[in-house]
Chain A
Amino acid sequence: MVMRTMLRGLAGTAALAFLTTAAVSAGTAPAQATGSGAALRWGTVMEVSTLDPVYGTNYWELVAMYNSYDTLLWPDAEKGVKPWLAESWTISPDGREYAFKIRAGQKFHDGSEITAEDVAFSMVRMLTVNGPSASSFRMINASGVSYEGDTVTFKLDSPNSSFLKALLLFRIVNKDLILANLKPGAFGEMQDYGNAFLRTNDAGSGPYELETYRPGEILRLKKFDGYTLAPQKGEAPATVEFQVTPEIATIVTKLRAGELDIGDPTLPSTVQRQLGELQAMQRREDTMPSPWFVIMDNARAPLDDVWVRRAVASAYDRDTVTKHILGAGGPLAGPVPAEMLPGCEGVTTYPFDLAKAREYLSKSKYPAGELSKRKLQIAAVAGSDRFNNVAMLLATNLTKIGIPTEVRPVRWADIVQAQTKPETAYDFVLYYDPAKVSDPTLFLNYYTKSGWGDPYPPGGMYYENPKVTELVQAGIHSTDPKVQTDSYCQANKLIAEDSPAVFSHTEVRQVTSWDYVKGFPPSAGAIFYDMRFENWAIDQNSKDFQNNQKR
């Protein structure tokens, strides 16, 4: 009797709980685009920790910045760059002074006009604050920035052919808005230079402006109605939402449920294949000019011997890496991807051939007994299955040819620190370089002394060839495109022959989405420019789209 009463109570509680769940389930609040148009919802593994264009480093921070801020120039397949916020520019005969005329009538998101003063302020702020984005502007310092009327002038320390392309990474911020939001800080009268404000706020002029930002959870951008640099297309998403979803399985579930329209590119290729086979879903593959390397410490035995390095390159099984481990990969010969050096033919490659590898090894100054004395170490970023599997494959093949090798899963911060000194650098480190602009010097600098010891794996190569250094410098200081191309191509060939790293392949970006998402227009080699959402389209007539928007 009593038991029955208690059981009834418990059953009643359970029923009440279920009914409550059902009741609250009825009140759905789907993420909808503001105004007319579609909401594009993207599941992202990484968090967006900052919106400040000087500090953003990870993929999604950069995507957000590319859309909410604008640049002076736009990538161009033929000329490298073309006018954008700057309507024209002149370069002084000595190649040191660049004067940009700012296009009139362009607006920031708060409605104020973009001036040369804003551009100068943005450059000085970037150089003074010295965050990650300043790394591409070592050729200029703050005293070299000036403006007059509608023209801003940058005076370089020395001629540098990379400067124009580097400007694709320079974003213009709203000076007045920043000055109105300064907080106490270390920059004198500029206090914190707007760092605190810009971390969570938008001071840009890009095609999308910030609508919602909840760190660790969501970032939502909405179309900027006052944008005039590109046509406002009705089919472009009205809002773009990055939903932070750190668990891969959860992204897959959300994608299948229609709570997301597009998934993270870092989803494993096997998962992407399965999703792509589902009805109404598509998987796209884009070869990116972003190389994968196996960095070697050229300063330590036995990798200071070119024949050992060539043997290592010949023991690297590219096909298995790209087809079976990563699921895709484009060709790569030498440190510079072919897209950046068109016409650079005859670059030495070392195809996978263990017999050839043994032959190279027999020519080295190290006898077999010497080689087997020390186990070489391959550092693979801890927690990354992709890197770990590639490293295991290489270790297996190197052991087969008589170079005992072991794989060490290492935290990223530890790798970065180890690479800054030749005696602590790992023998091998797997590295993927997301090339943001189509500029060969991005890669070639690491093969000259100026790149030695830089943080990140390529700084740990310690490779030097005086001829390569001479060629790279000649290219950087020349204003003649032909001289630049020839110099970089020759340097590329010499480096490829010396094999200071294993040049594995170029990245193939794999993304799975619903069929109604039409995105990724050509980016002219500057990889994030294909993530400008004003050039995307959503098929709003699609039934799936209409159903999913209700979720």
Chain B
Amino acid sequence: MSLKSLLQRVAQMIVVLFGVSVLVFLLTRVLPGDPVAAALGDRASGEQVAQLRSQLGLDQPLVMQYVNFVTGALKGEFGLSLVERRDVGEVIASRLPATLELIFASLLIAIVVGVPLGVIAAVRRDRFIDGLSRFIALAGVSFPQFWIGIVLQLVFGLALAMLPITGRISGPPPLTVTGFMTIDSLLAGNFSAFTDSLRHLVAPAIVLSTGPLATIMRMTRANMIDELEKPYPELARALGVHPLIINYKFVLRNAFTPTLTIIGFLVPIMIGSSFVVEKVFGWPGIARFGADAIIANDFNGVVGVTMVVCLFVVVINFLVETIYPILDPRIRSGETT
């Protein structure tokens, strides 16, 4: 990617983020309801409500409120959360790693299981294994995640007592470095905390991976079939190249590029889905906070979470677009496909 196109993309990102900030800010301000009075509890006086309103800057003109919001957001401060009673930036900083750890673990499961399943299904098209993998894909997108979560809790938590039912860690957590409980445990050399945090991560990550796994598997299968019908795999076979090398080195590499794009799109969907998983598994992530903020009309919380998720999605898409040419030489050379 040239410097010019890189700068263009960064400029696009800034425009998108600005547009989203204006839209979300205005939407939260025009919603009815008085979150300030609701947050103060019963028997609050009008004076108390006015004081908190002033503290939140709600007594200022809308333009001024937006300017304050933007200047604060650039410093990572989104204003006071009425749900958590601290700065939204602080809430996001403390909760985002939990959601990211869950999403990355789920994505890992989805790719590690979904891609080989897709390859096998394509190579053994219309055989039993293909039917089975298609059934798995269909089930993955059909069964509600909350239901799968509850079933896993009942089986592995209640009946087999193999996994904990909720939370991120049972004992004392390791010193926070990355915010990822598993990685921080390893960095601290605390293996028991590592295994404990891994046990907590397994079930929610499996649940969150079901949808993406199905999508990745279906995409890989379809693209593999397309590629396998082209002449080059046949030529490679004629030259005596081992089928595993043909399938995984040549065919999969070509077939994986569209799948990679899909993975870029899956991440924001997973953030949305993670709310259900976080609720069922008591996972203290950003999605649950965002949902609570919407219910409580915690406008700073809603804007903050939306902005961070939007930034995350934009960055993921940017990364996908950057990696794309590396994987597909045709794009590097400007050749259309």
A135-B41, A257-B161, A416-B33 known; A50 vs B85 contact (CB < 8 Å): yes
Residues in chain A near residue B244, CB distance under 8 A: 2, 5-6
Residue in chain A with minimal CB distance to B87: A196
Residues in chain A near residue B129, CB distance under 8 A: 3, 7
Docked pose: A455 CA to B37 CA in angstroms:
6
Indicate with 1 or 0, residue by residue over A129-142, a CB within 8 angstroms of chain B CB atoms. Answer: 01110111010000
Indicate with 1 or 0, residue by residue over B283-313, a CB within 8 angstroms of chain A CB atoms. Answer: 0110011001001110000000000000000
A→B interface (CB under 8 Å)? 2-3, 5-7, 9-10, 13, 20-25, 27-31, 47, 49-50, 52, 55, 57, 130-132, 134-136, 138, 186, 196, 199, 212, 214-218, 243-247, 249-250, 253-254, 256-257, 259, 383, 411-414, 416-417, 420, 433-434, 442, 453-456, 551
Residues in chain B near residue A551, CB distance under 8 A: 161
Residues in chain B near residue A131, CB distance under 8 A: 40, 48
Q: Closest approach, in angstroms, between the C-beta of B288 and any C-beta of chain A?
A: 7
A22 touching B192, Cβ below 8 Å: no
Report which residue of A49, A186, A256 has the largest number of chain B beta carbons within 10 angstroms of its beta carbon: A49
A27-B192, A214-B173, A257-B161 known; A249 vs B150 contact (CB < 8 Å): yes
Docked pose: A412 CA to B41 CA in angstroms:
11
A417 touching B42, Cβ below 8 Å: no
B150 touching A250, Cβ below 8 Å: yes
Residues in chain A near residue B288, CB distance under 8 A: 216, 246
How many A-B residue pairs have C-beta atoms within 8 angstroms? Tell me: 197
Report which residue of A27, A135, A416 has the largest number of chain B beta carbons within 10 angstroms of its beta carbon: A416
Q: Does B45 contact A (CB under 8 A)?
A: yes
Q: Closest approach, in angstroms, between the C-beta of A513 and any C-beta of chain B?
A: 17
A25 touching B44, Cβ below 8 Å: no
Q: Does B165 contact A (CB under 8 A)?
A: yes
Q: Closest approach, in angstroms, between the C-beta of B337 and any C-beta of chain A?
A: 28
A13-B112, A49-B85, A216-B95 known; A29 vs B281 contact (CB < 8 Å): no
Residues in chain A near residue B163, CB distance under 8 A: 21, 25
B45 touching A135, Cβ below 8 Å: yes
Docked pose: A406 CA to B247 CA in angstroms:
64
Report which residue of A138, A186, A212, A414 has the largest number of chain B beta carbons within 10 angstroms of its beta carbon: A414
Q: Closest approach, in angstroms, between the C-beta of A191 and any C-beta of chain B?
A: 15
Q: Name the segment of B7-15, B17-25, B60-68, B116-124 touching the other chain.
A: B116-124
B282 touching A243, Cβ below 8 Å: yes
Q: Does B243 contact A (CB under 8 A)?
A: yes
Residues in chain B near residue A216, CB distance under 8 A: 95, 284-285, 288-289
Q: Name the segment of B152-160, B226-234, B319-327 touching the other chain.
A: B152-160
Q: Does B126 contact A (CB under 8 A)?
A: no
Indicate with 1 or 0, residue by residue over B161-180, a CB within 8 angstroms of chain A CB atoms. Answer: 11111111111110000000
Q: Closest approach, in angstroms, between the C-beta of A409 and any C-beta of chain B?
A: 12
Q: List 28 A-B contacts (CB under 8 A).
A: A2-B123, A2-B244, A2-B247, A3-B124, A6-B119, A9-B116, A31-B171, A47-B83, A47-B292, A57-B39, A57-B41, A134-B48, A186-B55, A212-B172, A214-B284, A215-B94, A217-B167, A218-B167, A243-B282, A253-B158, A257-B161, A257-B165, A259-B164, A412-B296, A417-B33, A442-B43, A455-B38, A455-B42
Q: Closest approach, in angstroms, between the C-beta of A433 and any C-beta of chain B?
A: 7
Q: Does B264 contact A (CB under 8 A)?
A: no
B34 touching A416, Cβ below 8 Å: yes
Docked pose: A409 CA to B164 CA in angstroms:
36
A411 touching B33, Cβ below 8 Å: yes
Q: Closest approach, in angstroms, between the C-beta of A212 and any C-beta of chain B?
A: 7
Residues in chain A near residue B47, CB distance under 8 A: 130
B162 touching A413, Cβ below 8 Å: no
Docked pose: A420 CA to B48 CA in angstroms:
14
Q: Closest approach, in angstroms, between the C-beta of A277 and any C-beta of chain B?
A: 17
